[in-house]
Amino acid sequence: MIRTGHIKNIPYNASDAQNDYNFKRGLSKGEYKLCKYPKMAKYIEDKINNEGWAPDVIVGYMKTHNYFERDGFCKISVPTIYNAIRFKIINVNIESMRRMKYDSKYEYHELKPVPKSKIPYSIENRPEEVDKRLTFGNFELDTVIGTKNGKNECLMTLTERKTKFEFIFKLQYKTADEVVKKFNQIKSFMKSNYGFMSSF
């Protein structure tokens, strides 16, 4: 029995009252994230039950392999997975939880605060016209790294924020020095041939 309003002349019953509370509490909450993304819920469930991965490792792996950008996936935190297990949103048995593996290579870590020395260069401080993509000529640099460890080849991308026009270059090594070297080559070429990037 579930009580959904003020009922008179009915004796108090602890079980009925608890059911009434659970019902109303459920209505007051938004839909759980993993209920909205069943494909991701199934992926997480399989990783825990079949491969013994811990939620920390699953989140770290999805983050480093760009799963959050895939169709049917979204950004998710470790506590969200534990809550999904607790509230039976994903079907994980106790034995699977006992076999959870922690791989430091993919383990999730909280983001650390930006060092004071780097605050002036933080992305949070970029001008409004850049942030809102109002003007042309503002590029974002990123690297696309393969799955191999060590100093291997990777790609460097330069994306113009307003038009999404993109340059892609191959780097011999995935190191900061290699990125700086390639960027300086690009800047020199653009200035010499097109007068572009003159403000860099």
The C-alpha angle 72, 73, 77, rounded to 5 degrees, equals 155
Long-range own/partner contacts, residues 186-191 (CB < 8 A, 24 or more apart): 186/158
Q: Rounded to whole angstroms, how far apart are CA atoms 41 and 31?
A: 14
Q: Mind listing the pLDDT tens digit for each residue in 145-157?
A: 765 555 578 889 9
More confident residue, 76 or 125: 76
Interval 159-190: pLDDT, tens? 888 898 888 998 888 788 898 999 899 888 88
Compute φ and ψ for 34, nearest 5 degrees: -70, -15
* Paired tokens of 57: 């490792």
Token duo for residue 21: 């509370």
pLDDT of residue 1: 45
**Contacts within 8 Å (CB) and 24+ apart, 104-111:** 105/60, 106/57, 106/58, 106/60, 106/61, 106/64, 107/54, 107/56, 107/57, 107/60, 108/55, 108/56, 108/57, 108/59, 108/60, 108/63, 108/78, 109/60
Query: pLDDT-based confidence at 2, cuts 50/70/90?
Result: very low
pLDDT at 127 over 80: yes
| C-alpha dihedral (196, 121, 64, 90), degrees to nearest 10 | -130
Look at residue 99 and tell me whether its pLDDT is greater than 70: no
Element (H, E) at 60: helix 55-64
CA angle 165, 118, 131 (to 5 degrees): 35
Q: Which of 136, 138, 166, 172 is nearest to 154 (CA)?
A: 172
133: left (phi over 0), alpha (psi -120 to 50) or beta: left
Q: Give the pTM.
A: 0.40
Residues 6+ apart with CB under 8 A from 105: 60
More confident residue, 129 or 100: 129
- The tokens of 103 are what? 């791989």
